[in-house]
Amino acid sequence: GPAPYGLSRLLVDASGSPRQVLKPGERKSISTDRVRLVLGPPDEVAVVRWMFKQSASGVSSVDIARRLNGRGKRNAQGRPWSACTVNHMLSDLRYTGTTVYGRPNPRALIKPEPGKPKREPIRVDHAFPAIVTQELFQKTQSQRKLRARRPTDDELLGMLRSLWERE
């Protein structure tokens, strides 16, 4: 599949020697060759790091997208950034150099075969160079979880009471 924003696909031969960086849409043609993820263009790597730092400091995905669009930056498809795209990137483990194989596809309509054991995904840390550290990634996830927290009914009633008293 395509490399995520900030990463590139490197074609390597059977012995692991680099051949070339593949452009979007290019495929390998020799069956013994492999494709590895490597750091992408420096300007994209800088944008990814900036996004994680902003999120870790409490900036919302909507504001991150707005700031990127204000700076004239475009996403991997050449389109303006959206909060959805930013959210997807901020939850992507590949930016820490980790890859996961065998993850179930939530959109798949395939029912598991009876009696067949469920396969667990395989996680490979340090599979390729990381753009962000594990610490920054975890701090980002913590901040995102705080922002996504829904108030309890009592908290909502308290907010409504204070609004009613003010207005």
- Tens digits of residue pLDDT in 12-41: 998 888 888 998 888 888 888 899 999 999
Distance, CA of 139 to CA of 59 (rounded, Å): 12
Distance, CA of 68 to CA of 91 (rounded, Å): 18
Q: How confident is the model at residue 155 (pLDDT cuts 50, 70, 90)?
A: confident
- Whether the predicted pLDDT of 110 surpasses 70: no
Is the pTM here over 0.85, yes or no?
Answer: no
Q: What is the pLDDT of residue 106?
A: 65
Q: How confident is the model at residue 120 (pLDDT cuts 50, 70, 90)?
A: confident
Distance, CA of 11 to CA of 158 (rounded, Å): 58
Q: What is the pLDDT of residue 152?
A: 85
Tell me the Ramachandran region of residue 67: left when phi exceeds 0, alpha when psi lies from -120 to 50, beta otherwise. Answer: alpha
CA-wise closest residue to 76 among 114, 42, 44, 109: 44
Distance, CA of 127 to CA of 140 (rounded, Å): 21
Distance, CA of 54 to CA of 48 (rounded, Å): 10
